[in-house]
Amino acid sequence: MRRAAGVTAMLVLAACATGSGPQRALDDPAVQRLLALPVPEYFATLDIAADVARNCTRYRYDAELESVLNSLRNANDAGSLVATSQRDVITLETDVRQRSFLARHALTGFNADLCPAADAEALQGSAISALLVPV
């Protein structure tokens, strides 16, 4: 009971501290896919989504959603508190997933225009798309 109250309090504080709150509901299928990822895959996906948002003017990164998800994942021992012990695995997983993302979208690097890739991810409802907010 205390744990649930603590998670609720963290979610309320996260929403107040970061602005208007996440753009997507927690029951959105893309958000659920992101939430269900193992720790290394989750943090690799966050990195890729941030890279995509930096290199596409049509989308911004949903930091509010990341904050809420991190609180939920920390409550289940799968968030940033656990990630520090898995740093090497996360680095390797990020490299693998970045290469896969680039190959899937026929890109040569993250310094290109990533808007077509972002659009494709949004159409697929991928975990990456959960963190991309159209501007």
| pLDDT at 133 exceeding the cut of 80 | yes
> Residue 78: its pLDDT value, please?
84
Q: CA-to-CA distance for 64 and 85, rounded, in angstroms?
A: 24
Q: Over the chain, what HEC string results?
A: CHHHHHHHHHHHHHHHHHCCCCCCCCCCHHHHHHHHCCHHHHHHHHHHHHHHHHCCCCEEECHHHHHHHHHHHHHCCCCHHHHHHHHHHHHHHHHHHHHHHHHHCCCCCCCCCCHHHHHHHHHHCCHHHHCEEEC
CB atoms under 10 Å from CB of 10, counted, come to 17
Q: What is the pLDDT of residues 99-114, one digit of tens each?
A: 999 999 999 999 889 9
Domain chopping of the chain, boundaries: 2-134
Higher-confidence residue of 50 and 17: namely 50
Q: CA-to-CA distance for 110 and 98, rounded, in angstroms?
A: 9
Cα torsion 101, 118, 78, 11 to 10°: value is 170
Q: What is the pLDDT of residues 63-119, one digit of tens each?
A: 999 999 999 999 988 888 889 899 999 999 999 999 999 999 999 999 889 999 999
Arithmetic mean of pLDDT, 33-49: 96
